[in-house]
Structure 1
């Protein structure tokens, strides 16, 4: 296996990188305004990371607004499946995923996604919310809670990544949503993150990713292609017929609603993304103090609060 182990001190460093990434997207959320473009929002994310001392990126900032949060009309990059299905779509490199000139409007769903590195240590986060009121999107954010507990439980049970992927996919469809992460490159529910090589050198930018990211992922991908050798892929997809390797996995369940016809622009997506730590003996989420986790905790508290007595009924006298 392509085993990666981390000391407690190193894990604390990754936790800080992840926390800063969330700090960045939460800060940019406060700077959004009607008419801002995805490109402008993504640039603000990158500027925040670099201003806070980030040395580079596993991937630069992404921002998606409205129906683009559901990858409406997108096709999976570098996939031959669409040709095989006779759809006549050539393999592509994911240009639609790049931040666009889509402008933000009231009520739109928003996803901000960034993966900064500090001294080569990478974290990857995805942050979803609505700009203004969007009750359907609010429900989707709450629905996402169940996958966090489910994914961890299945990893602890040593299920294969493909088994977990397919169970998550089935639950998404049974709940009336679509699986948006199936559109990501390799159709991943998650992917490994870790120590990036040559982080001190300029990495350039290829479709939002620096060279160091490819240098980290490619050796693991190549090992997975060796005949008779399996379980080295850094990608968590429906084809990952092996248990989670020890290391750090950025897990990102992404669900959505796709509408057609005149209502197509009501389509939306919602996700969370955070690091799952996997060791030889156990697995656990790197941090419990994250925006989506705190949202679910707050909603749970609200449900448990006793309802106030109706002022009119409290005045009714019970006959003797």
Structure 2
């Protein structure tokens, strides 16, 4: 895998793209209403990006409602190592991940996910919330906080990506949740993002991804299959037995849970996704002013205020 280094000015551009992506999903959240479909919500995300001058996409907008946020009934799409290792599944290309005609209802979990590019610079974000009250989903969103600090600390400790993946997976299970990101293509906790080649040419669309995304990722993925050539990959999975190399990593811990609702068993998923910057000497999150980070800060501030109110005079 080629190392990618970015000067401050370039990182500022990626920060702006990431901020715009979150601006888009937050704006679409305000436009949701009972009965809107995932397809309609995803289209609103893409339209917002285009109106703001987005030139293309690393991947187009995704929207998932209800139990689809937990990928319930989904199977991991065909991967490059399918023929050699197999996964006990018939090959498929991830059709279930595409936005569907599922209609939004009160209390449903929602995930909006998009990866726009500006002048080829890509950012990938995931935004989770509930449409109406859903206490179980609220708890999951708060639980996700621990992984942001954990992942950064482990990268700084130069742990391998597989070690970090497995630790995150163990913590998810210990907390009573399931690992939903294991169902993503290649079962990734994260993946590289960067500047897409030929970004100013029409990119087509294959299952929500333009051809430029494959042109960016595949050469690095194919190198990983040649013995003795690389041993690295732009994908962060359970078998990524190497440290994070310099570049931009879109990290996306995604958890799910089944619980007993008023009308029977229900399930949901929750996630966040943002860019982790890795250099030759350090690592850090590209931006700390993001919706999920603000949510956690607000909850802590609220708890602190309540404690002060309870202190006797």
Same fold (TM over 0.5): yes
> Which residue number in structure 2 is paired with residue 134 of structure 1?
134
Equivalences for 1:1-320 in 2 at 5 Å?
A: 1-79=1-79, 80=82, 89-258=89-258, 263-264=264-265, 266-305=266-305, 306-308=307-309
Partner secondary structure for residue 41 of structure 2: helix
Partner secondary structure for residue 208 of structure 2: coil
Question: How far has the Cα of 1:222 moved from its partner?
Answer: 1.4
Q: Where does the alignment leave 5 or more consecutive residues of structure 2 unmatched? A: none
* CA shift in 2, pair 1:74/1:20, >3 Å: same
**1:108/1:132 contact within 8 Å kept:** yes
Partner secondary structure for residue 308 of structure 1: helix
> Which residue number in structure 2 is paired with residue 318 of structure 1?
none
**TM score, norm. by length of structure 1:** 0.93
**CA distance, structure 2, for counterparts of residue 285 and residue 231 of structure 1:** 25
**CA distance, structure 2, for counterparts of residue 193 and residue 171 of structure 1:** 26
**1:59/1:208 contact within 8 Å kept:** yes
**1:137/1:268 contact within 8 Å kept:** yes
* CA shift in 2, pair 1:277/1:231, >3 Å: farther
Larger Rg: 1
**CA distance, structure 1, for counterparts of residue 192 and residue 232 of structure 2:** 10
Partner secondary structure for residue 268 of structure 1: strand
**1:231/1:243 contact within 8 Å kept:** no
Partner secondary structure for residue 224 of structure 2: helix
Alignment: residue pair count: 308
Question: How far has the Cα of 1:19 moved from its partner?
Answer: 0.1
**TM score, norm. by length of structure 2:** 0.95
**CA distance, structure 1, for counterparts of residue 231 and residue 142 of structure 2:** 33
Question: How far has the Cα of 1:263 moved from its partner?
Answer: 3.4
* CA shift in 2, pair 1:309/1:280, >3 Å: closer
**CA distance, structure 2, for counterparts of residue 216 and residue 115 of structure 1:** 14
**CA distance, structure 2, for counterparts of residue 288 and residue 231 of structure 1:** 32
Question: How far has the Cα of 1:84 moved from its partner?
Answer: 5.5
**2:232/2:240 contact within 8 Å kept:** no
**2:107/2:130 contact within 8 Å kept:** yes
**CA distance, structure 2, for counterparts of residue 110 and residue 275 of structure 1:** 21
**CA distance, structure 2, for counterparts of residue 84 and residue 115 of structure 1:** 29
**1:72/1:258 contact within 8 Å kept:** no
**CA distance, structure 2, for counterparts of residue 205 and residue 308 of structure 1:** 55
Q: Where does the alignment leave 5 or more consecutive residues of structure 1 unmatched? A: 315-320
Question: How far has the Cα of 1:230 moved from its partner?
Answer: 3.1
**CA distance, structure 2, for counterparts of residue 273 and residue 286 of structure 1:** 12
> Which residue number in structure 2 is paired with residue 317 of structure 1?
none
**CA distance, structure 2, for counterparts of residue 244 and residue 116 of structure 1:** 23
**CA distance, structure 2, for counterparts of residue 123 and residue 33 of structure 1:** 27
